[in-house]
Every structure is written in structure tokens, then in C-alpha cells.
Amino acid sequence: MVVCLTGLWRYRNYLIIFLTPLLILPLPIIVGGPEASCGYVIILTALYWCTECMPLAVTGLLPVILFPMMGIMESSEVCTQYMKDSNMLFVGGLLMAIAVEHWNLHKRIALRVLLVVRVRPALLMMGFMGTTAFLSMWIGNTASTAMMLPIANAVLKQLCDTEAQAEEREMDLMAIRGAGPGTGIPKGQDNQAFDMEPEPEVEESPEARERRLKREAKYLKLDKGMSLSVCYAASIGGTATLTGTAPNLILKGQVDELFPGNGDIINFASWFGFSFPNMVLMLIISCLWLQFIYLGCNMKKLFGCGTNKDGDKEAYGVIKNEYKKLGSVSFAEGCILVMFVLLVLLWFTREPGFMPGWAAVLFNKDKPYVTDGTVAMLISTLFFVIPSQLPRCGGYSEDGGAPCGYLTALRGWLRPPTVT
């Protein structure tokens, strides 16, 4: 009995979060009307505040979700008490980006794509640009660039080093084959003679110096092109979605303010339908232009024919080792991926335009209650409900009574630091 009560106490937050809405659900069902629904939200918020089953700041956002979904107030009217509806959409997208970055889901996606395209020059640039553009559609341009640039620099450095080592081995082999009478080394003798004594430092030959300078100039040019490709792709990818970059949301806010009766003409689906083809076109043009400037027009070398296979394997190994460091997919990464896909699907199908969306069928029959900001805050709130580890019997941590941490690092930001 004691063990059972101890387990229930450890999981008290989850019991309060899931059982409290069910226990007071008869109020809006039996009584009915917007007054009863409003009382339901107030009681639920008050109980969550008193028990602190969720962070207080997250509990304070429940009216943003429940008032529009229960037909009490429109989302634009509710969000005005906090900030603009477009700003609330930005906050929801920011919380999703923080959760993705906190659990390294973006890095796993990026490295997986690079493992597919491998290290051929043209496809490598295309892979970096495509991956950066996709990440920039959902997280900040600066964050996606800061993540992809070190990976690109590490791959190019490994390619340069392996090519230099291959050239040194080739020159040593030519020197050994040319050894004979008068050189002090019998022709055909095993290479062990070189291991017996340390090789004296020899001055770099003009031929070796010329090859080194040529190699460094080539990779310096390639490094410039790869760095620019990542930066360009981040800026281009941010234009594809409404939450991709802040100026998009500023435009939506200005349109809603200047034209109040626009019928929510700018939403996630309409913006994506207009901007995504333009993003793809701009990405292809910029990729071809950068390849023309920094890689040249030799298609045989660009797509891997006649390149250094050993160098490609070692550079590919760098990407593979970085991917192995991430380990297997954790429970938190799987939850974040599912919620990310769910968020995108809800955004697309809310008001697709060519057919009635789920919001029009379920909530927006009379007024535009539910908006993209409502959906963003609903998914963001789940970050503070779903644990970061699969709950186990007897599992416990000091995270507010929860058996494990939460999906987002904001849990620590919303609580005062512990003084030790």
C-alpha cells in the first residue's frame, strides 16, 4: 500500500493534468453556454496554478488555447491581452525550434542527409544547401547557419588533409621506385630500410610546393563557396514558411492590423503555397550560380568521377562519426519529431483553401476562433506535459514531482534557480 501511494505521489503531476479536466468536464456539458465554458477554463487554470503541475507561465497560456477552441472568444481577442496573434504564432514556433535544438534533432536530420549525398563536390553543396534551407524553414536562420557551417568546414578540412596525404604517399612511392645504384638504397629493397632510421628533414621541392599551393587555393575557393552556400540557403529557406523568419510574421501582423476584415488571407498554408515554389527556384538558381563560380563547369569532377576515392571515404567517415556520436534515437527525439509533424499537418489542414479545413468544421463555424497561433500554443504546451524519458515504475527526479525531465529546456528558464 505504501509503495502504491509513493508511486502515485511521484506521478501526481500527470494525474492532476489528465484527471482534473475530466472531473470538471460535466460543468460545460450539463450547464452549457459560454458562461459555463468560461468557468471551466477558470477553474482548470486555478487548479493548475495551485498545484503547480505545470510551470505557472505555461498554465497562464491556457486561455489562449481553450477560449478559442470552446467558442468563448476569438483568438485575436484573447491574444490581445498577451500580445498580437502573429506574435503568439512566433512564440509557438520559437518553442518548437528550442525543443528541436535542445535534443539535437536538427543535427541528426542534417547529418543523415549528408550521409545520403556523400562527399562529391556538387552533390555535397546541394546537400548542405537543401538541408540548411529545410532547417531554416522551422528554426532561426542564425541557428541553422551556426550548426551547418562547422560541419561543412570539418568535411572540407578532412578532404584537404586526405588529398595532401595521398600526394605525399604518391611522391614517396615514386622516390622509392626511382631508387637504385648511386642512391644508397638497393633497388627493390623493402621499405623497412626507411623505418630503421628517422628521415632527415628535406627541403620542399618546387614541384611539391607548386602542388601544395594549388591544392590550398582549390580548397580555399571551395571553402568560400560552401560557406556562402550555407548562408544563402538559410536566408532563402526562411522565406518558405510563415514562421521561418520574423519579417514574415511582421507582414502578417501589419496586414491584420490594416485590413481587419481580410478573412485570414495570410495563414500558414497560403503562405507556404505561394512561397515554397519560389524558395525552391531561388535555391536551385543560387546553387547553380555558386557551383559555376567556385567549382567550375567540369561535370566529371563535380559529380565524383575521377576524384580521390580515399579522401572521399575519410571525409565520409567524419560525417559518419559525428552521426554515431548522437547515438540511437531517444524517446524525447521521437516525441519531438511526432509533434513537429503533427504541428505542420495541423497548420496545413486548418484552412487549406481548396477544401474546408478542420478548424472550419469543428470550431470556426460562426467566427474565426482558432488560428495558427492557437495551434502553435497547443503543441508548445505539450512540451511541458510530455516527459523526456519513457516513464518507468519507480523512476523519479527532482523536476517538480515529475518522473523525468520535460521536452524543452525552457522548464529551467521558467523556474527560479536553486541556491545551494
Q: Which three cell numbers mark 83?
A: 500580445
8 A C-beta contact, residue 28 and residue 36:
yes
Say whether 206 sits in a helix, a strand or coil: helix
Count of C-beta atoms within a 10 Å radius of residue 364: 22
Predicted pLDDT at 306: 42
Average pLDDT over residues 169-177: 65
pLDDT at 412 over 50: no
pLDDT at 178 over 80: no
Say whether 399 sits in a helix, a strand or coil: strand
Dist. CA 136–CA 145, nearest whole Å = 8
- Report residue 297's pLDDT band, with 50, 70 and 90 as the boundaries: low
pLDDT in tens, 184-230: 444 444 444 444 455 555 566 676 677 777 777 777 888 888 889 99
Per DSSP, what are the bridge partners of residue 387?
406
Say which DSSP state 30 is in. Answer: I
pLDDT in tens, 358-374: 888 888 887 888 888 88
What is the chain's Cα-based Rg? 29
Average pLDDT over residues 263-278: 87
Average pLDDT over residues 10-20: 85
Dist. CA 260–CA 254, nearest whole Å = 10
pLDDT at 283 over 70: yes
pLDDT in tens, 81-119: 888 877 888 888 888 888 887 888 877 877 787 777 766
What percent of the chain has a predicted confidence (pLDDT) above 90? 12
- Report residue 285's pLDDT band, with 50, 70 and 90 as the boundaries: very high
- 338: Cβ–Cβ under 8 A, 6 or more apart, which residues? none
Average pLDDT over residues 31-51: 91
Which stretch of 261-270, 311-320, 383-392 has the lowest confidence by average pLDDT? 311-320
Average pLDDT over residues 10-26: 87
Q: Which residue has the higher pLDDT, 42 or 148?
A: 42
Per DSSP, what are the bridge partners of residue 402?
399
Helix (H) or strand (E) holding 273: helix 268-294
Predicted pLDDT at 42: 93
pLDDT in tens, 243-260: 888 888 888 888 888 888
Predicted pLDDT at 416: 39
Total residues belonging to the chain: 420
- 388: Cβ–Cβ under 8 A, 6 or more apart, which residues? 103, 331, 332, 335, 404, 405, 406, 407
Cα angle value 166/170/174 (rounded, 5°): 170
Dist. CA 10–CA 4, nearest whole Å = 10
Residue 48: is it exposed, middle or buried by C-beta count within 10 angstroms (0-12/13-18/19+)? Answer: buried
Average pLDDT over residues 335-345: 87
Predicted pLDDT at 226: 85
Predicted pLDDT at 236: 93
Predicted pLDDT at 418: 42
Residue 349: is it exposed, middle or buried by C-beta count within 10 angstroms (0-12/13-18/19+)? Answer: middle
Predicted pLDDT at 278: 93
pLDDT at 304 over 70: no
3-state secondary structure labels for all residues of 106-131 = HHHHHHHHHHHHCCCHHHHHHHHHHH
Dist. CA 43–CA 25, nearest whole Å = 11
Q: Which residue has the higher pLDDT, 365 or 234?
A: 234
pLDDT at 407 over 90: no
Q: Which residue has the higher pLDDT, 311 or 286?
A: 286
Listed residue (396, 42, 398, 90) closest to 243, CA to CA: 90
pLDDT at 383 over 50: yes
* Mean pLDDT computed over every residue of the chain: 77
In 205-267, which residue ranges form alpha helices assigned H by DSSP?
206-237, 246-258
8 A C-beta contact, residue 374 and residue 75:
yes
Dist. CA 408–CA 164, nearest whole Å = 44
